[in-house]
Structure 1
Amino acid sequence: MSFVLKPAAGEPTQRTSNPAVVDTVASVIADVRTNGDDAVRKYSQQFDGWSPKSFRLSEDEVRSIVSSIPESTLDDLRFAQRQIRGFAQAQKDSIQDFETETLPGVFLGQRNIPIDASGAYVPGGRYPLTASAHMTVLTAKVAGVERVAATTPPNEGLPPQISVAAMHLAGADEILVLGGVQAIAALALGTETIAPVSILTGPGNAYVAEAKRQLFGEVGIDLFAGPTETLIVADDYADPFTVAVDLLSQAEHGPDSPCVLITTSEAVGRAVLDHIDALLPGLQTNAIAGPAWRDYGQIHVTDTLTEAYALADRFASEHVQILTEEPRQALESMRNYGALFLGEGTCVPYGDKVIGTNHVLPTLGAARYTGGLWVGKFLKTLTYQEVRDPAASAQLGEICGRLSRLEKFEGHARSGDLRAAKFGGADLLWGEIPTRAVTEQ
């Protein structure tokens, strides 16, 4: 019989924003909208103690920062970016422009055109999330985005060197040292010195996430982001120590990060509990991972893997790791996840940092209806139509007229009627075509 071995102690993360956060963000956005650079500088000084002459780093400043990074570290960044670039390029290659003739003389087509400008937010604060630069900047450049403006908060009054290096190597056209709502608002709205972008990407704290939510519509965004989530499906084959280590690898993202194990083995579940209790005291990020596991960690025991996969689909977690004897079964058995990690040789941190897939993924159940950030997010899939055959236009016009009148759209109907009359000789019951407008057949 299925049962819960460890329930979550805390309430589920809410999908609505904290009212105090909503009000603060709205106030900052309104101020930046009205006062531009002055407002940006005011909030940067207030929240980060940061007010340089220019928030945008010069080419010389970028070169100096990159040259200060050990070559071995730069090599690691380049390795990760090669993996991410390669996968993004394969995604782009799978997206095809096409044109098809649906009726004689009727041509319909599709073109994939890059967005003109993208803004990439690379978080600082608790961790310098250099991988976010790979995922947001590099993927946009592979898509063909002409201008990518990347921004990251200052680190104790200085540009964060490793983040700047990652953004530069990823191909950022502009690098700003600017954080928080003021950075998001400046990129979305534009100021006297910062040109606006068309889409905002990248994770951030609750204020950054709320700023993206409020500005969505004026600009595009990648996703509505919540706390990092991980879920593991395991059977008797799974190593409990590996399961415990991998759950805690994601718990350290934040004290509200849900970590869930669904297993067909009560013995595995109990062993995982014991290992986590032993591992947490020695984990440097215990102050974060401990509360996450205490309040949001769960262990569910099911009778069968079929039930386990069904339960995992109901969670629709951001990261789903499959530690079973036949992990590829999950490809056929599951449909709701941000990303799948198959087998013991694979782990979620690979996806976070180095393997090549994008780590900007849906949370809070959004995996039920969307995937994560990918090269296609930076492309506009646009259609076009051309009717070259007069007979086809006449046929379409007659049908368009009838269908439009079913919906009480007389103006639409008359556009169709006109083509039916001009190109097919049909009677125009509501008027006459002026002589100068008649097309010679």
Structure 2
Amino acid sequence: MAAGQPQNVVIVGSGQAGYQAAASLRENGFQGPVTIVGDEPGLPYQRPPLSKAYLTGKTDEEGLLLRARPFFDDRGIDVLAPERAARIERAERRLVLGSGLSLPYGHLVLATGARNRPLAVPGADLDGVLYLRTRADADRLRAQMSEARRIVVIGAGFIGLEFAAVAAARGVEVTVLEAASRPMSRALSLPMSDFFREAHEAAGLRLVFGAVVTRIEGRGGRAVAVETAAGEMYPCDLVLVGIGVMPNAELAAEAGLAIGNGIVVDAHLLTADPAISAIGDCAAYPSPHAGGRASRLESVQNAVDQARAVAARLTGSPAPYAAVPWFWSDQGSLKLQIAGLAVPHEETIIRGDPASGAFSVFCYEGERLLGVESVNRPADHMIARRLLAAGLGVTREEAADPGLDLKARASALLTR
């Protein structure tokens, strides 16, 4: 064991972040025991396909797995699942599980993720009111959507619209109710948001904005309609609720760690306890791409990069976490890619023609490029990631010039 390395590492959470932390520790030569504790049965699996390929049957349970069993066995990574982490005994450096088992740790990595925000209205507990976050959620949804003729989706965020696009492609009548004035308003610029509204409506989705859900009506114990504050009733056979997530921070809070829209960590992803780190959807960290403001990001990229950063620190190569955030969402034939943290911003510049279904929106604060949103323009996305990683950006005037060779300009900037 190298000097300064912990004797062993226990990871709470078997999602993307937890898996990557374990894998990266071994890649970096860590030889001590590594244990993943997961509250879902089975091995770590991917979540993005749940709302697309898995839901449509294009991939199966085995296809979801991040790695098959031999990967963990060959690397000596223990996966305890399903097991619930009940409490952290910080003074003793011990994690106590719901089963009563106690795991001593040299370092504890909290990769506890997030859970669906519940819909708090009468009728939300009726049969046919479903969520989509886990494989079990997807199994229930897939079983019931095959018989549904009318579906109401509550929430026009990424998950809601991804599912709505899948359902509409099957010929189902889909209504999306959103309390805000436009789709994906917390994540997208106005031009991009407007584009997706028009594209989804053209594909047959019914989108209703400013729609605050007040009640779900049931018959025989099953949801049959959704009512809004305006008194409108939307008949349905199935309801999908997608109104955001909440970080799983209770374990950390009960252990006396600081909480603020997630588990508070520093630039090295450490909590106030030097033996405990937090990564992924549950962690609130000071992002240099948000002016140092505490940020909690829900993306595969963030989970993977934070896991790698913690593994590097634990194996002797510490560095502040500064990876460029990027996100994606596949909605029907539209692939949305976002580089950077562009909301809020002051000005947007559109490159390309939205009518063609392939364009990008460059988002600025003053002269600073904050982020780039792209639809079906992967080259723009990759260029944006490279520029933002280097702290660079094309000017507003350059972005607005349709004759600008973006790749050449980026190469010139990056080789200065």
Higher RCO (CA-CA < 8 Å; seq separation 6+):
1
Report the structure, 1 or 2, having the larger helix content. 1
Shorter-normalised TM-score: what interval? Answer: under 0.3
Q: TM-score, normalised by structure 1?
A: 0.24
Greater Rg over alpha carbons, structure: 1
Report the structure, 1 or 2, having the larger strand content. 2
